[in-house]
């Protein structure tokens, strides 16, 4: 090899090594995600619900009937298919869904949506979607939002002991699906067993209020609240709750007298804000019964 060729080869090799070194040392750059990931966790009754999805923005585009075509399967988000999990069996608009983790697909329509609970295939988008893997299909009616919603939002709202609402909203469209869970069949036997067993520090007040709020045995609710008050004679907030039970039982005179006792206790409260709260609650109760 002549000297010129040798020098040229060495220079070229050196340049390649330098370029490789610079490339290897290049700093990592974190760019903002076009559709940021989001996780929603919510307990409904005794059921834990989790939703994992990516949130695309409208960014000046027409969403439904444009970016998201009508009457076509949609991943209900961006990137990987949206996932939803339930720790116990639930009902979605009355359709039973076993406990588990699923993919959440939808078929948006002008007047009706199909919400699809699909086996968890961990797929990207909806390109490999296969209806044979559907677990449930639920029909839902879209409603119109009063203002534009820039970013897709999926959440759980309207919480009750045994129900909630799954909400899918974007642009000016909102779709609601009622989630129903079964708490009574699990909780009531536990309450009955614990209260029957006796012992110290029983959950008298909590058990009483659960029975009141769910229309169960009001006589037991009243007896348990009496026990809670006996353990905390100055707890005027519990006395107010006893008045609520008597109101529900139809004992108007007893409810009013109990509310008046609660007011007497509230007047001695060290916190002005707490005093005002329970004066207002008891006065409202008595006004209902006049």
How would you write the pLDDT of the chain (290 residues) with one tens digit per residue?
455 544 544 444 455 454 455 455 678 999 999 999 999 999 999 999 999 999 999 999 999 999 999 999 999 999 999 999 999 999 999 999 999 999 999 999 999 999 999 999 999 999 999 999 999 999 999 999 999 999 999 999 999 999 999 999 999 999 999 999 999 999 999 999 999 998 888 999 999 999 999 999 999 999 999 999 999 999 999 999 999 999 999 999 999 999 999 999 999 999 999 999 999 999 999 999 98
What is the rounded CA–CA span in Å between residue 243 and residue 135? 47
- Beta partners for residue 179, in sequence order: 92, 164
- Long-range CB contacts for residues 220-224, cutoff 8 Å, separation at least 24: 220/195, 221/245, 222/246, 222/249, 224/195
Residue 247 belongs to what H/E stretch? Answer: helix 236-249
Helix 236-249 to helix 204-213 angle (10° resolution) is 30
C-alpha distances in angstroms, 58 versus 5, 55, 83, 178, 218? 59, 10, 21, 26, 52
Query: Which two structure tokens, joined as six digits, stand for 6?
Result: 């040798």
If we measure between CA atoms, which residue out of 165, 66, 76 comes closest to residue 116? Answer: 76
> For 53, phi and psi rounded to 5 degrees?
-155, 165
What is the rounded CA–CA span in Å between residue 189 and residue 205? 17
CB neighbour burial string for 30-42, b if at least 16 within 10 angstroms, e if fewer: eeeeeeeebeeeb
Structural domains of the chain ordered from first start: 37-180 (no CATH), 184-289 (1.25.40.10)
Residue 50 belongs to what H/E stretch? Answer: strand 47-54
Cβ pair 50, 39 in contact under 8 A: yes
What is the rounded CA–CA span in Å between residue 265 and residue 239? 9
- Is the pTM value of this prediction over 0.75? yes
Helix 236-249 to helix 272-289 angle (10° resolution) is 10
Check residue 249 and report its DSSP letter: H
What is the rounded CA–CA span in Å between residue 160 and residue 177? 14
Check residue 64 and report its DSSP letter: B
Helix 252-266 to helix 236-249 angle (10° resolution) is 170
């Amino acid at each position: 090899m002549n000297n010129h060729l040798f020098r040229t080869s060495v220079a070229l090799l050196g340049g390649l090594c330098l370029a490789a070194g610079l490339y290897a040392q290049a700093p990592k750059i974190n760019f903002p995600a076009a559709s940021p990931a989001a996780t929603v966790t919510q307990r409904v009754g005794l059921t834990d619900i989790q939703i994992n999805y990516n949130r695309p923005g409208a960014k000046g585009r027409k969403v439904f009937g444009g970016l998201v075509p009508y009457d076509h399967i949609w991943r209900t988000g961006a990137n990987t298919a949206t996932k939803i999990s339930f720790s116990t069996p639930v009902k979605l608009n009355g359709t039973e869904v076993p406990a588990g983790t699923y993919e959440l697909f939808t078929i948006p329509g002008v007047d009706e949506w199909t919400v699809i609970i699909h086996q968890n295939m961990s797929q990207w988008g909806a390109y490999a979607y296969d209806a044979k893997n559907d677990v449930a299909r639920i029909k839902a009616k879209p409603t119109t939002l009063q203002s534009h919603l820039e970013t897709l939002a999926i959440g759980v709202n309207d919480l009750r002991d045994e129900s909630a609402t799954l909400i899918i909203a974007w642009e000016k469209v909102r779709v609601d699906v009622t989630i129903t869970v079964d708490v009574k069949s699990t909780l009531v036997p536990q309450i009955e067993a614990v209260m029957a067993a006796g012992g110290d520090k029983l959950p008298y007040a909590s058990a009483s209020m659960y029975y009141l709020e769910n229309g169960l045995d009001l006589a037991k609710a009243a007896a348990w609240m009496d026990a809670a008050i006996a353990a905390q004679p100055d707890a005027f907030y519990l006395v107010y709750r006893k008045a609520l039970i008597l109101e529900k039982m139809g004992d108007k005179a007893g409810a009013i007298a109990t509310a008046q006792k609660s007011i007497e206790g509230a007047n001695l409260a060290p916190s002005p804000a707490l005093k005002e709260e329970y004066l207002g609650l008891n006065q409202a109760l008595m006004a209902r019964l006049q």
